[in-house]
């Protein structure tokens, strides 16, 4: 597709882990306190508390990858741009 703009996305890293707790050995890996906060604010908080992840904000209707990655956190947002589900590594 000419002119398509893909988001920056690092190679997936899972190091044999299949769940978020396995990935979060030294960093935070789940953020229930961010539900209802603005998605961009939540992304900054996540990146500060776990510098080994890339945060991807997923707006309603966007497709997400189903593969599990220790270096990725999806922040699902609602129509108002607020976090609609608990962000978790994976």
Q: What is the pLDDT of residues 11-23, one digit of tens each?
A: 888 878 889 889 8
On whether residue 88 sits in a domain, the answer given is no
pLDDT at position 50 over 80: yes
- State the residue range of the domain holding 69: 20-76
pLDDT at position 1 over 60: no
C-alpha 6/C-alpha 23 separation (Å) is: 26
On whether residue 63 sits in a domain, the answer given is yes
Query: Are 88 and 73 within 8 A, CB to CB?
Result: yes
The CATH number assigned to the domain holding 58 equals 3.30.10.10
Mean pLDDT confidence for 48-63: 89
On whether residue 6 sits in a domain, the answer given is no
- The distance in angstroms from the start CA to the end CA of the chain is 28
On whether residue 69 sits in a domain, the answer given is yes
On whether residue 44 sits in a domain, the answer given is yes
Q: What is the mean pLDDT of the chain?
A: 87
pLDDT band at 6 (very low <50, low <70, confident <90, very high): low
pTM attached to this predicted model: 0.83
User: What is the tally of structural domains in the chain?
Assistant: 1
């Amino acid at each position: 597709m000419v002119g398509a703009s893909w988001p920056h996305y690092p190679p997936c890293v899972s190091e044999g882990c299949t769940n978020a707790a396995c990935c979060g050995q030294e960093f935070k890996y789940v953020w229930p306190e961010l539900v209802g906060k603005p998605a961009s604010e939540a992304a900054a908080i996540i990146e500060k508390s776990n510098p080994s992840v890339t945060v991807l904000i997923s707006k309603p209707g966007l497709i997400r990858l189903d593969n599990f990655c220790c270096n990725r956190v999806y922040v699902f947002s609602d129509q108002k741009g607020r976090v609609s589900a608990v962000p978790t590594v994976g």
